[in-house]
């Protein structure tokens, strides 16, 4: 079963509260990730559905588990608030045979000391959405939390209407967020941040423990991870939708997939979340927001950076300023890979922007356009007949020749950078709606289609097609 070696509770008491999941009426397993369970050495093959449902609803707390909820704060749409796990319980930190560690967290498992006015519950649709997105991210090779199970609770949850309740079991290499540091900095006791810093280094960045300036070293490491994460998201056209500081993990994993979506047609300004009215978290703004969030992170550590407050601020500004360059370099390298440019030329940026601006003006499908370029023969699509595109294509072909590498090299880089399939929003919504009506087939079909996203497979064309105008989903709702 689980091999719990939990360390979070060694932090000062203000960082967590012991809290047990609140039992639910009649839990049933909706989906269970057998592959993941095996991969982390959790052997529950012998469990029947009833036992699994009891386990993943929190109705039965397993031996060795001392559930707790975490305290944190966060900037939500720019405004600072005290938060905490208002509807989540960590059962423990599971250590695999190879020494990897995962928080095992139930989400939607009842009220906690941090629930404020919330009911501590979650709705089936959003929990399945998070399950799907996290597993899709993992298959795409993008750092992410994972999904182990979803159970329905047999209870309704009151939102604008009564909706079916559910609990997600999520795995995360930790749940330390930028907001956890903000919580620590807000706590009266000045040593809180220092304790959390040491804990975070030990858990995620042990090689930095002996560094002269631990705070700056941690920030630099997190900046690197976040730049990589955002570049991945941009590569696959993902819009997280709620990049609040409480939804940004120090591990560099994507976390808390709410009203998120992958774009179909390329539009840098795109926003899906119904609550993001100002476009704060639009596709193109994600790198800026990551930098903004990292600035909130470094602010919490100013006293640890230097005893002289002015000097600390100067160092902090200098450090966070480096994010732009870091992101730009990684972002450009990623775009080169998407186009198979395995060497570097000054003109590359122009070539890239020409394609993107053509895609934008023509509402070209983000995923399919890049994937189509891998084929020597473009599909017979009217868009590709346009002179502007043809001219660009010719220019790109001759640029490829200047790589001085076999074409196959470029194609193989493109194949591993441009997925054939993403969880398209209309297919996700279709699966969620069917699940709402107790038909889980579309969910299973979708999850199967999202495996090996870089392979060419003939059996999933339905999932590769861009949505028809009538199928297109423009807005996603928190619905939580
Ligand atoms: P999220 O939007 O899921 O990232 O949640 C933001 C904050 O609101 C977190 O602190 C959650 O724990 C809390 N929260 C969201 N929904 C509920 C709920 N139904 N009951 C209690 N707390 C909640
Ligand atoms: Mg959150």
Is the pLDDT score of 399 beyond 70? yes
Cβ–Cβ < 8 Å for 116, 48: no
Could you write out the DSSP letters of every residue in 24-56? Answer: -SS-EEEEE-HHHHHHTT---TT--HHHHHHHH
Instruction: Give the residue whose CA is nearest to atom 23 of ligand 1.
Output: 86
Q: Which of 373, 389, 417 is the last residue of a domain?
A: 417
Per-residue pLDDT averaged across 237-248, rounded?
98
pLDDT at residue 244 above 80? yes
Atom of ligand 1 at shortest range from CA of 83: 10
* pLDDT at site 57: 98
DSSP 104: E
Residue 320 lies in a domain: no
For ion ligand 2, residues whose CB falls within 5 Å: 247, 256
Number of domains in the chain: 2
Q: Is residue 41 part of a domain?
A: yes
- 386 Cβ contact list (under 8 Å, min separation 6): 362
Identify any residues that bridge with 171 across adjacent strands, giving them in sequence order.
Answer: 104, 146
Indicate if ligand 1 lies below 6 Å from the C-beta of 232. no
- Indicate if ligand 1 lies below 6 Å from the C-beta of 182: no
307 contacts 282 by C-beta, under 8 angstroms: no
- Percentage with pLDDT > 90 across the chain: 95
Return the pLDDT at 425: 97
DSSP secondary structure code for residue 39 in this structure: H
Among protein residues, the one whose CA lies closest to atom 15 of ligand 1 = 86
CA-CA-CA-CA torsion sign (175, 120, 478, 280): negative
- What average pLDDT does range 347-374 have in this prediction? 98
Listing DSSP states for 165-178 in one string gives EEEEEEEES---BH
Q: Which pLDDT score, from 0 to 100, does residue 188 have?
A: 76
CB atoms within 10 A of CB 5: 11
Q: Above 90 in pLDDT, residue 376? A: no
Question: pLDDT class for 330, splitting at 50, 70, 90?
Answer: very high
- pTM of structure: 0.98
Q: Which among 246, 264, 276, 365 is annotated as catalytic?
A: 246
pLDDT of residue 45: 86
173-190 confidence digits (pLDDT tens): 999 999 999 999 998 777
Tokens encoding 472: 């297109």
pLDDT surpassing 70 at residue 333: yes
Within 10 A of 313 (CB to CB), how many other CB atoms are there?
15
- Taking Cα atoms as reference points, which of 174, 175, 153, 170 lies closest to residue 162? 153
Mean pLDDT, range 97-121, rounded to an integer? 98
- The verdict on residue 184 lying in a domain is no
- Is 156 inside a domain boundary? yes
Conformational region of residue 102, where left means phi above 0, alpha means psi within -120 to 50, and beta covers everything else: beta
Does 84 have pLDDT greater than 80?
yes
Q: Calculate how far, in angstroms, residue 405's C-alpha sits from the geometric centre of ligand 2.
A: 45
Pocket test for ligand 1, best of 86, 159, 179 (most atoms within 8 A of CB): 86
Q: How far is the CA of 86 from the centre of ligand 1 (A)?
A: 5
Q: 176, 192, 210 — which closes off a domain?
A: 176
- Distance (angstroms) between ligand 1 centre and the Cα of 218 equals 27
Q: What is the pLDDT of residue 476?
A: 80
Across the range 139-158, mean pLDDT stands at: 98
Q: In this structure, which residue's CA is closest to atom 1 in ligand 1?
A: 256
Tell me what pLDDT residue 473 has.
Answer: 86
Asked whether residue 74 carries a pLDDT value surpassing 90, the answer given is yes
Residue-range definition of the domain harbouring residue 405: 339-417
Q: Which atom of ligand 1 is nearest to the CA of 247?
A: 4
Which range has the worst mean pLDDT, 192-196, 409-413, 474-478?
A: 474-478
Q: How large a percentage of the chain has pLDDT more than 70?
A: 99
Least confident piece of the model among 7-16, 344-353, 373-382: 373-382
Indicate which residue's Cα is closest to atom 13 of ligand 1: 86
Short-list 320, 286, 249, CA closest to 72? 249
The answer to the question of residue 435 being in a domain is no
pLDDT of 189 reads: 74
Q: What residue owns the CA closest to ligand 1's atom 12?
A: 86
> Can 391 be counted among the known catalytic residues?
no
* Whether pLDDT at 145 is above 90: yes
Q: Which of 389, 387, 422, 405 is nearest to 340 (CA)?
A: 405
Establish if 349 belongs to a structural domain: yes
d(CA 137, CA 236) in angstroms, rounded, equals 10
Task: Say if ligand 1 is within 6 A of residue 76 CB.
Answer: no
Last residue of a domain, one of 133, 152, 176: 176
Measured in Å, residue 246 CA sits from the centre of ligand 2 at: 6
3-state secondary structure of 233: helix
Give tens-digit pLDDT for 267-308. Answer: 999 999 999 989 999 999 999 999 999 999 999 999 999 999
256 CA: nearest ligand 1 atom? 4
In a domain, 405, yes or no: yes
Mean pLDDT of the chain: 97
Instruction: Calculate the alpha carbon distances from 62 to 46, 55, 67, 148, 244 in Å.
Output: 15, 7, 10, 16, 33
Say yes or no: CB of residue 130 within 6 Å of ligand 1.
no
Provide the pLDDT for residue 478. Answer: 60
Q: Examine residue 240 and state whether it is found in any structural domain, yes or no.
A: no
For 24-59, the pLDDT digits (tens) are 999 999 999 999 999 999 999 899 999 999 999 999
Please check the confidence at residue 479 and state whether its pLDDT lies above 90: no
């Amino acid at each position: 079963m689980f091999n719990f070696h939990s360390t979070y509770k060694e932090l000062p008491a203000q960082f967590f509260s012991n809290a047990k999941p609140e039992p639910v009426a009649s839990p049933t397993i909706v989906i269970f990730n057998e592959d993941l369970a095996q991969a982390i050495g959790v052997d529950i093959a012998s469990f029947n559905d009833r036992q699994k449902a009891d386990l993943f609803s929190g109705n039965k707390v397993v031996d060795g588990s001392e559930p707790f909820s975490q305290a944190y704060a966060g900037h939500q749409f720019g405004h600072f608030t005290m938060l905490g796990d208002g509807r989540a319980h960590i059962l423990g930190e599971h250590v695999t045979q190879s020494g990897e560690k995962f928080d095992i967290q139930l989400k939607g498992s009842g009220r906690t000391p941090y629930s404020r006015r919330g009911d501590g519950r979650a709705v089936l649709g959003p929990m399945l959405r998070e399950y799907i997105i996290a597993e899709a991210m993992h298959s795409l090779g993008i750092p992410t939390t994972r999904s182990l199970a979803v159970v329905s609770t047999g209870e309704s949850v009151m939102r604008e209407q009564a909706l079916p309740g559910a609990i997600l079991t999520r795995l995360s290499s930790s749940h330390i967020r930028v907001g956890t540091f903000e919580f620590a900095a807000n706590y009266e006791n000045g040593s809180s941040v220092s304790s959390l810093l040491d804990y975070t280094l030990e858990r995620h960045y042990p090689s930095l423990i002996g560094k002269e300036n631990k705070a700056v070293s941690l920030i630099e490491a997190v900046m690197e991870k976040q730049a990589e994460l955002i570049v991945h998201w941009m590569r696959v056209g993902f819009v997280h939708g709620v990049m609040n500081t409480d939804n940004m993990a120090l591990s560099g994993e994507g976390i808390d997939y709410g009203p998120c979506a992958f774009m179909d047609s390329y539009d840098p300004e795109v926003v899906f979340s119904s609550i993001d009215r100002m476009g704060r978290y639009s596709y193109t703004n994600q790198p800026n927001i990551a930098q903004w969030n990292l600035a909130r992170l470094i602010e919490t550590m100013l006293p640890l950076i230097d005893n002289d407050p002015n000097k600390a601020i100067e160092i902090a500004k200098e450090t966070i300023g480096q994010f732009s360059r870091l992101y730009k370099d990684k972002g450009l390298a990623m775009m080169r890979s998407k186009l198979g440019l395995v060497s570097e030329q000054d003109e590359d940026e122009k070539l890239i922007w020409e394609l993107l601006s053509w895609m934008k003006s023509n509402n070209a499908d983000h995923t399919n356009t890049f994937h189509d370029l891998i084929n020597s023969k473009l599909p017979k699509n009217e868009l590709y007949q346009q002179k502007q595109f043809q001219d660009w294509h010719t220019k790109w072909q001759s640029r490829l020749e200047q790589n001085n590498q076999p074409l196959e090299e470029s194609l193989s880089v493109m194949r591993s950078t441009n997925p054939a399939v993403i969880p398209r929003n209309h297919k996700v919504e279709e699966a969620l709606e069917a699940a709402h009506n107790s038909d889980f087939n579309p969910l299973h079909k979708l999850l199967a289609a999202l495996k090996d996203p870089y392979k060419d497979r003939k059996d999933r064309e339905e999932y590769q097609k861009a949505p028809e105008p009538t199928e297109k989903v423009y807005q996603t709702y928190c619905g939580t």
